[in-house]
Structure formats: structure tokens, C-alpha cells
Amino acid sequence: MDGNGRWAQQRGLPRTMGHRKGVEAVRGAVRAAGEAGIAYLTLFAFSSENWTRPETEVNDLMGLLKAFIRRDLAELHAENVRIRVIGSRENLRSDILPLLLEAEETTRQNSGLTLVIAFNYGARDEIARAAKKLAAMVAEGRLSTDEIDAVALDRQLDTRGIPDPDLVIRTSGEERLSNFLLWQAAYAELLFVPEFWPDFTREIFFAALETYARRDRRFGGVKSAAVSG
């Protein structure tokens, strides 16, 4: 979700107004994903690098996250949405962590769309934490070095149990991953759309899904037509 600040700037509004509109776009995207029958939607809400933004903006973003969970949790729960949070939980503010845990706990049994919120998330940090866990298991004699492979590391990631993303969409025209799901997106289709996040409508979402459907995914193999023909 990129471009909240520029959306506001374009209108001569403070950046925080862009973030506010961004929350509305989140609601629309969650609804559209549910309608499209998507099983997992991951939103990059706040990166481990976003803490370097001015304190007022960080506070605005924290306030919006808190308001979103307080205001929308009941409705998401009623819509059978399951919430998972990925990212480091170390040193999280005491007014944030309990809310995230509550959102996960309340919706644990839900079987509809899984909404994965990447908060205080950075892929390199996630992979490093997973490596640390494997090292600790080896040190404790619960794992041998030979058993460390891609599957073993994958199991220690924050996304354990969540399938790899098929499609990664970034808004605002920037064409980079910026430390998002670096491991999991190894074979993801990438789509960069010019619209700023607050302008990300269901129409743009569905058009993105159509673009995805036309992509030829080979996972390092050969074209399916070449195999059968």
C-alpha cells in the first residue's frame, strides 16, 4: 500500500489525510478480496523501517491502526475473516501489541478470508529471526545442521502455515519490493499499478486479478503447453 502521502500532497492536504483515506481503501480491498474468493490477503501496513518517519506521522499511523482494529474487528469477525499479524513483536508499544493479539485470538477459528497484516515487518528481519530460531534448535540438540533446508527455514518464518503469495501488487508506481515477503515472493507475480493507495478501487483490484490470470507461471519449469504438446 504505497502513495498515501503523495495522494494527500497532490491535494494540498497533510499526509495524515492520505493515511486516513488509505484506511478506507483497506476496507474496500478486504471486501473485494472476500468477494473474489481470495483465501489470503496480505497488507503491508507498517515496515520495520517506517519508524524512521517523523514522530507525528508514526503516531498518526499507530492511531489509525488502533482505530481500525477497535472499529472493524467485530465486523471482520462477523464476516468470518481470520486475522494474522506478521512482523517482529519485540519492543512493540504496550497499547499496540495487545490489540494485535486480540485481533488474532478473536478470529482464530474463522474460515473465510485470512487477512494478514504485516506490521513492524521487514523480510530480512523475519529471515534473520528464523535463522536464529534454527540455530537455537541446533544448540539445544533438537535439530541437526543437516536438517536445515528451505522447508525447515520456511517453518520458522512469521508466515508459517500461510501459502506463498501468487500475486504482489504495489501501488503508486514504485517498482520495488522494499523488504516485503522477500522469501515467500520467490515465484510471485509482481504487478505495479500507477494509482496511489487511497485510489485503489475494487475495479483496479479486479483488473489486477485479470492481469494475473493471463500471466504464464512456470516456477522454473517449462510452459504447460510444451509439456502436453
By annotation, the residues acting in catalysis are 2, 50
Q: Which residues 2-41 are close enough to bind Mg ion by CB under 5 A?
A: 2
Beta partners for residue 55, in sequence order: none
125 binds Mg ion (CB under 5 A): no
Beta partners for residue 135, in sequence order: none
Q: Which stretch binds Mg ion (CB under 5 A): 1-9, 52-60, 104-112, 194-202?
A: 1-9
Task: Specify the residue, 2 or 72, whose C-beta has the smaller distance to Mg ion.
Answer: 2
23 binds ligand IPE (CB under 6 A): no
Q: Which of 13, 31, 50, 153 binds ligand IPE (CB under 6 A)?
A: 50
Q: Which stretch binds ligand IPE (CB under 6 A): 43-51, 79-87, 91-99, 151-159?
A: 43-51
Query: Total number of residues binding ligand IPE (CB under 6 A)?
Result: 13
Residue nearest ligand IPE, Cβ-based: 5
Q: How far is the CB of 171 from Mg ion (least distance, A)?
A: 9
- What is the contact surface with ligand IPE in residues (CB under 6 A)? 1-6, 22, 45-46, 50, 61, 172, 197
